[in-house]
């Protein structure tokens, strides 16, 4: 089945050329990632067209361009619902696309909203509070140490060696710094001191299945024990990634990850971050419904490789999952009006 597939993405170099700072575009993709996905889709027999970011998608849609399927992994630039912008546009024009819908993309980027939904499903997640103004600190009743980070960022943005906090004075300073820098509330949660994992998942609803789980360990030369922005940017130097051995712990971690993924109604593929609490029990941290897809450096392709699934196989599985939502998949794209 040959499809005309459009690709929507945010290219890091394009935003840097517009004057954005490196941290501003840390979630965006490198040219090598785009090329790898194009090659994978082409190798699967599809006709691939690079569209670019959401604003270019708007222009193309207004001009009448259409595709059988859009492979969407655009992060968006501003706002806590930025990952929902492209899916919303595609739904408006009734064009099928990969990955989660607008509601899920918005809900999961706001870590506090995601944690509330996960907790309401009876799943473990560390206690947390939101700090949006100074008065919120006075009412904060969490046990120290705590961990502070922006509520709606990814790629470890805002996380560094000051994120683990021991006192109220440190917390007040951290919240002021983060609110000023990111212009959004600060998520403060009880610190989990145990091992950290990320679980890859493929599929949708009842068809969702665990691909595998990878442990994330800071090397001895890392600037912090926690998975910070600097560590993610320099992961080859600071981080050790290993497949979690099979056994009761892996079964617990993966059961929680899959339950959270389903509770949040993610689609096609994603990653769920899990950490152990003081008693060694797994707890949900966050989910990424638009996982990084760099074949060499992103977590989901690494998990796939550890479990015998090639990069082309991973991309193919994502497309196959998306096509299950498309009646008459593979029909020719609607022609552009003359």
User: What DSSP string runs through 143-171?
Assistant: PSSEEEEETT--TTTT-STTSEE-SHHHH
Is residue 278 one of the residues assigned to a domain?
Answer: yes
Look up tokens 């840390």; give the residue: 26
Cα separation, 200 vs 298, whole angstroms: 11
Reading the block at residue 280, the tokens are 């060694």
User: Which structural domain range is residue 160 located in?
Assistant: 127-190
Q: Is residue 327 part of a domain?
A: no
Q: Is 25 exposed, middle or buried (0-12, 13-18, 19+ CB in 10 A)?
A: buried
Q: Which residue has the tokens 């929680």?
A: 256
Task: Give the Cα separation of 69 and 333 in Å (integer).
Answer: 9
Total number of domains constituting the chain: 3
- C-alpha torsion angle, residues 322, 73, 287, 153 (rounded to 10): -160
Measured distance CA(320)–CA(87) in Å, rounded:
18
Cα separation, 163 vs 146, whole angstroms: 8
- Tokens representing residue 319 in the block: 């497309």
Same domain, 201 and 274: yes
Are 15 and 61 found together in one domain?
yes
Among 190, 217, 244, residue at a domain's last position: 190
69 CB burial (10 A radius; 0-12, 13-18, 19+): buried
Q: What secondary structure letter does DSSP report for 97?
A: B
Token pair 């002021």 is found at 176
Angle of CA points 326, 56, 15, to nearest 5°: 120
Per-residue pLDDT of the chain (338 residues; tens, 9 = 90+): 899 999 999 999 888 888 888 777 888 999 999 999 999 999 999 999 999 999 999 999 999 999 999 999 999 988 999 999 999 999 999 999 999 999 999 999 999 999 999 999 999 999 999 999 989 999 999 999 999 999 999 888 899 999 999 999 999 999 999 999 999 999 999 999 999 999 999 999 999 999 999 999 999 898 888 888 788 878 889 999 999 999 999 999 999 999 999 999 999 999 999 999 999 999 999 999 999 999 998 999 999 999 999 999 999 999 999 999 998 764 444 444 43
The reply to whether the predicted model has a pTM over 0.85 is yes
Q: Give the tokens for residue 330.
A: 């593979």
* Same domain? 85 vs 160: no
Secondary structure of residue 212 in the 3-state scheme: strand
Report CA dihedral (289, 98, 38, 305) to the nearest 10 degrees: 50
Contact 60, 51 (CB under 8 A): yes
Q: Looking at residue 336, what DSSP letter applies?
A: P
Please check whether residue 119 lies inside any domain of the structure.
no
Number of H helices, E strands in the chain: 13, 12
Q: Decide which of 83, 99, 115 is a domain's last residue.
A: 99
């Amino acid at each position: 089945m040959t499809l005309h597939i459009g690709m929507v993405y945010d290219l890091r170099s394009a935003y840097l050329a517009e004057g954005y700072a490196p941290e501003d575009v840390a979630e965006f993709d490198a040219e090598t990632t785009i090329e790898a996905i194009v090659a994978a889709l082409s190798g699967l027999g599809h006709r691939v067209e690079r569209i670019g970011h959401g604003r270019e998608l708007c222009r193309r849609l207004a001009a009448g361009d259409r595709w059988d399927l859009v492979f969407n992994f655009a992060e968006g630039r501003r706002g806590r619902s930025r990952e929902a912008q492209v899916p919303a546009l595609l739904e408006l024009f009734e064009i099928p696309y990969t990955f989660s819908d607008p509601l899920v993309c918005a809900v999961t980027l706001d870590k506090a909203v995601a944690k509330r939904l996960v907790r309401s499903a009876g799943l473990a997640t560390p206690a947390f509070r939101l700090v949006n103004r100074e008065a919120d600190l006075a009412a904060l009743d969490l046990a120290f140490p705590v961990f502070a980070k922006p509520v709606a960022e990814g790629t470890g943005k805002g996380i560094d060696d000051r994120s683990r906090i021991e006192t109220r004075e440190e917390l007040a300073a951290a919240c002021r710094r983060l609110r000023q820098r990111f212009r959004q509330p600060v998520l403060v949660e009880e610190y989990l001191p145990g091992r950290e994992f990320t679980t890859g998942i493929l599929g949708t609803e009842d068809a969702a299945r665990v691909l595998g789980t990878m442990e994330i360990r800071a090397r001895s030369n890392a600037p912090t024990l926690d998975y910070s922005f600097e560590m993610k940017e320099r992961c080859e130097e600071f981080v050790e990634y290993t497949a979690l051995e099979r056994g009761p712990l892996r079964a617990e971690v993966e059961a929680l990850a899959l339950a959270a993924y389903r509770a949040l109604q993610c689609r096609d593929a994603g990653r769920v971050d899990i950490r152990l609490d003081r008693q060694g029990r797994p707890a949900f941290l966050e989910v990424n419904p638009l996982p990084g897809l760099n074949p060499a450096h992103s977590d989901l392709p690494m998990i796939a490789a550890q479990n015998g699934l090639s990069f082309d196989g991973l991309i193919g599985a994502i497309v196959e999952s998306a096509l299950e939502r498309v009646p008459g998949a593979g029909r020719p794209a609607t022609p552009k009006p003359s």
